[in-house]
Amino acid sequence: MTTDETFLWYDATPRLSVGVAFLFKQKAFRALGAYTLSPETAALPSLHVSAGIQEIATGNPGLSFTAEKNFRAGQGILNVYGGIGYRTNTRQAKILGGLKFSPSSLWTFGLQNDGIHTHPFATYSWSHWITGLYLINGKSPAVLFGSRF
């Protein structure tokens, strides 16, 4: 199980993001990449591919293909995504998905399913900072901290 993971992402282009993650428990780095195949339109969801690559014994390396769509919900936005994730260390493909609701630019509430477990979360954003709570498998609490710069 991955614990204490730190991410650093860079938007190289409007469609390509590259990053690195450090897994404290495993003392390992994970190379990350995400590419938007097609942006969202009024009628169609956006399509994405992503990869997390690392030495197989240290975590959950894998690939994913997802579709994502945003919907207006009163003053807020409902984001829904789904797709397929493939973990290269177990050679298994799993259905994954999630949703999040942002009633304002400050708060977000959601559920994420990684193909094995479902994780509820809540975040609060201000200026370029973000913080939140994440309940791993609905049981183990985790704290989120982040910054956009």
Contacts (Cβ under 8 Å, ≥6 apart) of 11: 17
pLDDT > 70: what percent of the chain?
Answer: 93
pLDDT-derived band at 126 (thresholds 50, 70, 90) equals very high
Segments forming the whole domain that contains residue 39: 5-147
pLDDT value for 3? 61
The pLDDT tens digits of the residues spanning 15-67 come to 999 999 888 888 888 899 999 999 999 999 999 999 988 665 556 678 999 99
Q: Cα angle vertex 5, ends 141, 120, to 5°?
A: 35
Provide the domain count of the chain: 1
- How confident is the model over 73-101, as a mean pLDDT? 93
